[in-house]
Amino acid sequence: MAQAATAAALSSEPLLLFRHSMRVFLFASLIGRRRGLEFDANLLYVAALFHDIGLMDAYRHSRKRFEVDGANAADAFLSRHQVSQADRDEAWRAVALHTTFGVPAEMASLTALLCAGVETDLLALHFDEVSDAERIEVLREYPRGAKFKERIIDTFAQGMARRPATTFGTVNADVLDRCDPNYRRLNFCGLILGSSWKE
């Protein structure tokens, strides 16, 4: 199953996202071991490799959040490999919630660890749970490359450019706010005040 997941990711994503996904998996695994958590490494691997797949061309016209498209893709992949419904549901939640910071940490190990892996690779959080030597080894195998920070933001923006409404209420709105001069962020208070309710 791991080989099939690797092949699916490599055939769908640019190397930038594939390496990011591999680092997410490795950081999440290291953090899980450091925390003494029980987790299914195969499920975590699939969730990590599929967590950004919803940004790819196949989903560019979707009206769903890219995280949901990725979660659905992971679920379909796991279903083809006869993974139980309970495990598929857990992987779906992990992928769907990986940009909803603050919530996954309170959930089951797979969801908490996938988000922790993302937070480590993108935001340098959890560095106290990954040693310098471990970090160096992960980066040796899956380097970030020059201007990774700018390139990953641009990749995120390209994946959401055709569905800006799906970024409402997420960190993804920050990406489009930075990268798309025509993007206008929805405002939750404005939606309440502008609703059809009289009072």
CATH number of the structural domain spanning residue 35? 1.10.3210
Tally of structural domains, the chain: 1
Distance CA 2, CA 146 (A): 28
Would you say residue 192 lies in a domain? no
Token digits of residue 129: 């749970």
Token digits of residue 124: 């340098």
pLDDT at 137: 98
Q: Are 66 and 52 in contact (CB under 8 A)?
A: yes
Would you say residue 162 lies in a domain? no
Q: What percent of the chain has pLDDT over 70?
A: 100
Global confidence as pTM: 0.95
Per mean pLDDT, which range of 74-88, 143-157, 179-193 is the poorest? 179-193
pLDDT at 31: 98
pLDDT at 177: 94
Would you say residue 124 lies in a domain? yes
Would you say residue 121 lies in a domain? yes
Mean of all residue pLDDT scores within the chain? 96
Would you say residue 186 lies in a domain? no
pLDDT tens across 142-177, in order?
999 999 999 999 999 999 999 999 999 999 999 999
pLDDT tens across 27-54, in order?
999 999 999 999 999 999 999 999 999 9
Does residue 195 surpass a pLDDT of 90?
A: yes
Would you say residue 149 lies in a domain? no
Token digits of residue 3: 């080989």
Which one, of 15, 20, 46, lies nearest residue 139 by Cα? 20
pLDDT average, residue stretch 69-86: 98
Domain residue limits at 95: 2-144
Would you say residue 161 lies in a domain? no
Would you say residue 84 lies in a domain? yes
pLDDT at 60: 80
Burial of residue 88 (number of CB atoms within 10 Å: 0-12, 13-18, 19+):
buried
Which one, of 46, 175, 160, 33, lies nearest residue 109 by Cα? 33
- DSSP character string of the chain: -HHHHHHHHHHHS-HHHHHHHHHHHHHHHHHHHHHT----HHHHHHHHHHTTGGGSGGGTT-SS-HHHHHHHHHHHHHHHTT--HHHHHHHHHHHHTTTSTTSGGGS-HHHHHHHHHHHHHHH-TTGGGS-HHHHHHHHHHS---TTHHHHHHHHHHHHHTT-GGGGTTSTHHHHHHHH-TT-----HHHHHHTSS---
